[in-house]
Amino acid sequence: MTTLLSSPTPVKIGIPSTTALGTLAASMQAGTWAKLSVANQDAVLGVGSISGTMIHYSNSMPWNPLSKCIEILGQDHGYPQMRHVRFNALSNQFVLVADNAGVGSGHGYDHVALNPYNGDLYARLYSGFTGKVSSMKKAFGASSFTSIPDVVASDQVAMGTCWWPGSFTGGGAQGSFMVFVSGAANGSATDGGMVAYNPLANSWFYSQASKAPFYGGGSNYHSVMEHSGKKNVAVYGGGNVAPDRLWRMDSSGAVQAMPIVPSGKAVGIQRGLLTDDPVTGNFLLLSAGQLWSSTRRAAAVGRNSPHRRAASASRALRPSKR
């Protein structure tokens, strides 16, 4: 008998057409936007006295294919702890799981990833410049988070994370929890670390430098990372130091520089949202009220190679209205 662990099958993400979200999606024409109305959105998410919302510190909200929910960890600036909320697609409502999620407090941003094989939720913690990356896991159906081993790394308060569900060098059958260590940068060829955790072995099996050469030193906050299941690659970068720069890493760990982000646009927390298109495998950027897609081959990594790419290397899909 074939088991999930010995031969994992990619999870197909879908919304039943009988849900409000599924019905709305089915009614949309290509190239259009539509708003989903959720009655209790403001009551559950609108918490905090600074920005007025808990998603101020929440850039990544993974979909759980087992529960048909979107997992949200976040907090307003100055709020005492992270809140855990789910959007339940079946009931079309936001559900407060815990006002205190049990994963500490701080600038989280792109700090959440989900194992699509078993529904476990992972949260990278704000480590406080301790020279390590600390994370926790909430098993599917569990009521609380538990710690996983730390990994030595040049931490930063806002680093990119994602789940790599496909094959990756040295990874396990359920994929890997990945963290882009953007704090490991000083403007040299060894900038940008990458660490990976195997949930089946409960250990960090991969730790490499030079994943974002010449990323830049200083306040390396607000970087992001996303994975494309169709192409089995991750794209990451952006943030305060390099808001127009991204890199792509394949399943062997090889890295290429992506095209420069179009002029007037940026990528990173509070600058531009990055995600993948599950149909084409391309990566999408929503910034400055426009949606863009990278469509051309990436350049080889080098000190100046990213800057030789013209803005035309990305194609505008459709400007959004704000």
Residue 108, by phi and psi: left (phi above 0), alpha (psi -120 to 50) or beta?
alpha
Q: Give CA separation, 214 vs 154, 209, 223, 305, 308, in Å.
A: 16, 12, 15, 11, 15
Does residue 83 share a domain with residue 130? no
φ and ψ at 46, to 5 degrees? Answer: -80, 60
188-225: per-residue pLDDT in tens? 999 999 999 999 999 999 999 999 999 988 777 889 99
Token duo for residue 213: 């050469």
How far apart are alpha carbons 9 and 117 in whole angstroms? Answer: 8
Does residue 179 share a domain with residue 62? no
Q: What is the mean pLDDT of the chain?
A: 85
Does residue 219 share a domain with residue 94? no
Does residue 182 share a domain with residue 120? yes
The confidence score (pLDDT) of residue 33 equals 92
**Residue 2 falls inside a structural domain:** no
**Residue 30 falls inside a structural domain:** no
How far apart are alpha carbons 183 and 245 in whole angstroms? Answer: 15
* C-beta separation of 246 from 236 below 8 A: yes
The confidence score (pLDDT) of residue 155 equals 64
How far apart are alpha carbons 320 and 161 in whole angstroms? Answer: 27
Pairing of the two strands 203-208 and 224-228: unpaired
Does residue 177 share a domain with residue 302? yes
- Final residue in a domain of this structure, among 106, 123, 146: 106
Does residue 159 share a domain with residue 207? yes
Domain that holds residue 58: 38-106
Residue 82: pLDDT band with limits 50, 70, 90 = very high
Write the CATH number for 169: 2.130.10.80
**Residue 15 falls inside a structural domain:** no
Work out whether the CA dihedral 141, 146, 149, 150 comes out positive or negative.
positive
State how many domains the chain has: 2
Does residue 119 share a domain with residue 59? no
- Final residue in a domain of this structure, among 73, 106, 139: 106
Does residue 123 share a domain with residue 98? no
Does residue 209 share a domain with residue 93? no
